[in-house]
Amino acid sequence: GDRFRDLVLDTKYAHPCDMEDARTLARTFYPKLSIADDLLEKARTEGEGRVRRVGNSLHNIAEAAARMGLSSIDLAAYEGGNGLFSRSRLPSRKEAA
């Protein structure tokens, strides 16, 4: 704890990720999967621009695309497959079922 804390010179809040950040995350972690902008935007807004939540949603999206045998996916295909997004709240029983 202390060793790491001593190395931090300045602490600031991170800016929420924008669409370009979401595209970069998707290309970096899932280079073989084409994720449509409508789906990236939904993942970004549902995750309130928080990188961890957007990343979790991208993981869910990639798993869903693999299950469906898709190399590209958009919002309609993902929601049609009952896709979930990482949010600040837990999913309802209906959403999780």
42-60 per-position pLDDT tens digit: 999 999 999 999 999 999 9
User: Which one has a higher pLDDT value, 1 or 11?
Assistant: 11
Give me the architecture of the 14-96 domain, per CATH.
Answer: Orthogonal Bundle (1.10)
Of 8-22, 48-62, 72-86, the range with the highest mean pLDDT is 48-62
Using CA atoms, how far residue 83 sits from 1, 3, 8, 27, in Å, is 38, 41, 38, 20
User: Which one has a higher pLDDT value, 64 or 88?
Assistant: 64
Residue 75 clears pLDDT 90, i.e. is over it: yes
Cα separation, 18 vs 41, whole angstroms: 9
The pTM for the full model equals 0.78
Cα separation, 17 vs 47, whole angstroms: 10
